[in-house]
């Protein structure tokens, strides 16, 4: 696990783009595992800028997103499908048929999505305050694949800011790649910003691998890059 500590969110996003750029440069047909939330917004902005400058085309890129809320319309402003279109897809030359965001509420839908995910060149991750990756919450077995998950109270609380600060409006379930699915990727890039992520970051990097901190499973992956700002790294001891 390689850990980079950057001064602030802008510097973090620059470093994350360096890592993503290497993958785009090294692969003729890269498969990108993508994430939503505030953490990757800076990275996506740099990818869009880089595309507009003519440095990379996305015509031969395939993407698979980590997760999506259950019971939310794809065109809802808070759906992750909408997020990806607004922040990345509609600004680059990617074929919409090559973009995949999970959708559904059944085990069958989860397995169907999982079966599509092959040869991921790089998987982008954020980390939740409770250590979740994707929506694989604490207690998720490390061998779990794409599944339907009941969101924890802490995750619902963290996400209420996107739903008028009303926990009752936050979906209570999600369809999410599991830890085993994430671990299949050739390379993993995790980015975290802010002091509220510091405890989870410390548990991920310095704690023992445990299902109580799903992100700690990444210690067992052969190629993980973690990019933090100083606030997110503030509780690390080394």
pLDDT tens per residue, range 123-161: 999 999 999 999 999 999 999 999 999 988 988 998 898
* CA–CA dist 74, 169 (Å, integer): 16
The pTM is what? 0.94
Active site residue: 6, 65, 67, 144, which one?
67
The C-alpha angle with vertex 46 and arms to 43 and 48, in degrees rounded to 5, equals 110
Q: Report pLDDT for 117.
A: 98
Residue 146 burial class via C-beta count within 10 angstroms: exposed 0-12, middle 13-18, buried 19 and up: buried
pLDDT value, residue 158? 86
The full length of the chain comes to: 238
49 is known as an active-site residue = no
> How far is residue 172's CA from residue 112's CA, in Å, rounded to a whole number?
22
Distance CA 124, CA 43 (A): 10
29 noted as active-site residue: no
Low-confidence ranges of the chain (pLDDT < 70): none
Q: Which of 137, 144, 147, 229 is catalytic?
A: 137
Q: What is the pLDDT of residues 107-122, one digit of tens each?
A: 999 999 999 999 999 9
CB count within 10 Å of CB 106 equals 11
Give a three-class secondary structure readout of the chain: CEEEEECCHHHHHHHHHHHHHHHHHHCCCCEEEECCCCCCHHHHHHHHHHHHCCCCCCCCCEEEECEEECCCCCCCCCCHHHHHHHHCHHHCCCCHHHEECCCCCCHHHHHHHHHHCCCCCEEEECCCCCCCECCECCCCCCCCCCEEEECCHHHHHHHHHHCCCCHHHCCCEEEECCHHHHHCCCCEEEEECCHHHHHHHHHHHHCCCECCEHHHHHHHCCCEEEEEECCCCCCCCC
Alpha carbons 213 and 208: distance in angstroms, whole number: 9
Residue 151's pLDDT is what?
A: 87
Q: Which pLDDT score is estimated for 146?
A: 97
Is 130 labeled as catalytic in the residue annotation? yes
Q: Which of 189, 190, 194 is nearest to 232 (CA)?
A: 194
Backbone dihedral region for residue 221 (phi beyond 0: left; psi -120 to 50: alpha; all else: beta): beta
137 is catalytic: yes
Q: Which of 6, 65, 68, 130 is catalytic?
A: 130
Cβ neighbours of 108 (radius 10 Å): 9
Strand partners, 174: 69, 149
Return the sign of the alpha-carbon dihedral for residues 175, 185, 199, 213: positive
Q: Which of 132, 144, 147, 159 is catalytic?
A: 132
């Amino acid at each position: 696990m390689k850990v980079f500590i950057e001064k602030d969110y802008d510097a973090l996003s620059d470093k994350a783009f360096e890592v993503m750029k290497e993958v785009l440069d090294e692969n003729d047909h890269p498969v990108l595992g993508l994430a939503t939330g505030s953490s990757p917004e800076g990275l996506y902005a740099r990818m869009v800028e880089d595309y507009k400058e003519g440095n990379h085309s996305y015509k031969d890129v395939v993407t698979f997103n980590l997760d999506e809320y259950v019971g939310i319309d794809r065109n809802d402003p808070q759906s992750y499908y909408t997020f990806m279109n607004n922040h990345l897809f509609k600004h680059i030359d990617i074929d919409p048929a090559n973009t995949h965001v999970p959708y559904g509420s059944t085990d069958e839908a989860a397995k169907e999505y999982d079966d599509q995910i092959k040869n991921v060149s790089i998987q982008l991750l954020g980390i939740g305050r409770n250590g979740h990756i994707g929506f694989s919450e604490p207690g998720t077995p490390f061998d779990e694949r794409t599944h339907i998950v009941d969101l924890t109270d802490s995750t619902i609380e963290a996400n209420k800011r996107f739903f008028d600060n009303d926990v009752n409006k936050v979906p209570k379930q999600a369809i999410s790649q599991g830890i085993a699915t994430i671990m299949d990727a050739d390379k993993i890039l995790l980015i975290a910003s802010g002091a509220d992520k510091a405890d989870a970051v410390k548990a991920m990097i310095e704690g023992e691998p445990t299902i109580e901190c799903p992100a700690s499973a990444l210690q067992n992956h052969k190629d993980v890059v973690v990019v933090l700002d100083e606030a997110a790294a503030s509780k690390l001891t080394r």
